[in-house]
Structure 1
């Protein structure tokens, strides 16, 4: 895990963020959750012109969005 957020300056198309932790393309979903038991699905980010900060430390209480928790690591 990285200690800073991924900064997306706008999202042009629907984007899928991994919630299972198994993606080989973190933080993006690569479908790895399909091999796991349970009902795990990716977090869906819809297109926006706004800047979005994506948590990469795994500690955000507002996942997938960064809440600054990485500053305490």
Structure 2
């Protein structure tokens, strides 16, 4: 599977409330780490993420993670 464009070389930590979110996989969204539709016409689609309970999430913004949409430290190798 192709990896998206590097949006940032660091994750973003966010306190998330329960709900459904769409993580940007292409790296082109201006609303990182979430999708804004910038992937249209590309091979990428956003990743649907369901948060069941309020929690802290480290969202990947480098788009190189092997555990999308979550940071796995891949940005440290860039």
TM-score normalised according to structure 1 size? 0.73
Residue 25 (1) aligns with residue 31 (2): yes
Ranges of 4+ aligned residues in structure 1 off by more than 2 Å:
10-13
Count of residue correspondences: 71
Q: SS of the counterpart of 2:14?
A: strand
* Alignment root-mean-square deviation, CA: 2.0
The answer to whether the 8 Å contact 1:11/1:46 transfers is no
Q: Runs of 5+ in structure 2 lacking a partner?
A: 1-6
Residue 37 of structure 1 and its aligned partner are, at CA, apart by 5.0
Q: Runs of 5+ in structure 1 lacking a partner?
A: none
Distance 1:71 1:37 in 2: 27
TM-score normalised according to structure 2 size? 0.69
1:5-32 deviation digits (Å, cap 9, x = unpaired): 1112233432111123332222211122
Call closer, same or farther: CA 1:37–1:70 in 2, change over 3 Å. Answer: closer
Greater helix proportion: 1
- Tell me which structure has the larger Cα radius of gyration: 1
